[in-house]
Amino acid sequence: MSERSLLELALDSDLCRVAELCRAWEELAGEIGLDETAAVDVELALSEAVNNAIIHAYQREPGHTVQVTVTRHQHRLVVAVTDHGRSMPESLDSLLSRLEQDADAQYPEEGGRGLAIIASLMEEVAYRSGPSGNTLEMRYPLDE
């Protein structure tokens, strides 16, 4: 099966818009027949990623765009969240390693527990930043 786009959504960088994303995801999860565990895992990771873009990349300033795409590629969902705000101050691997080393520590605003939650739910997580924006890409395996 080739890559197939399932959802493309552009959200304003307002935390109130995350509920709109969750409704769209729940509808899509039902349409593609995801079981409850998969639907909830992806929804939590997706909402954490969008919250992070709004809070950290755009510093909670509305009026910017957070782009969400969900595609199906073979036996995986590929979920991408893209913003054009401030990029992460350190690599994803470095941040996740630091979070893993001291799960009880308090972290500055630039890094937080949302990424650890995302990493625990998804099969793969990658981050890239460049001229086309900052993208957090998450992969979730599908049983087929």
Q: What was the pLDDT predicted at 88?
A: 86
What pLDDT does 1 receive? 43
Question: Which CATH number covers residue 37?
Answer: 3.30.565.10
What are the pLDDT digits (tens) for 77-120? 999 999 999 998 777 777 666 666 655 555 444 446 788 899 99
Q: Give the per-residue pLDDT at 143.
A: 80
Question: So what's the pLDDT on residue 109?
Answer: 45
Q: How many domains does the chain have?
A: 1
pLDDT at 21 over 90: yes
pLDDT value, residue 67: 98
Strand 4-12 vs strand 65-73: parallel, antiparallel, or unpaired?
A: antiparallel
Is the CB of residue 18 less than 8 Å from the CB of residue 68? no
Residue 124, pLDDT above cutoff 90: yes
Higher pLDDT pick, 8 / 97:
8
Higher pLDDT, 105 or 61: 61
The verdict on pTM exceeding 0.75 is: yes
For the chain, the average pLDDT equals: 88
Phi first, then psi, for residue 139 (nearest 5°) are -120, 135
Would you place residue 4 in the very low, low, confident or very high pLDDT band (cuts 50, 70, 90)?
A: confident
Q: What pLDDT sits at residue 110?
A: 46
For 44-71, what is the mean pLDDT?
96
Domain that holds residue 99: 4-141
Distance of CA 133 to CAs 25, 56, 86, 88, Å?
Answer: 23, 14, 9, 11
Listed residue (10, 50, 7, 9) closest to 32, CA to CA? 7
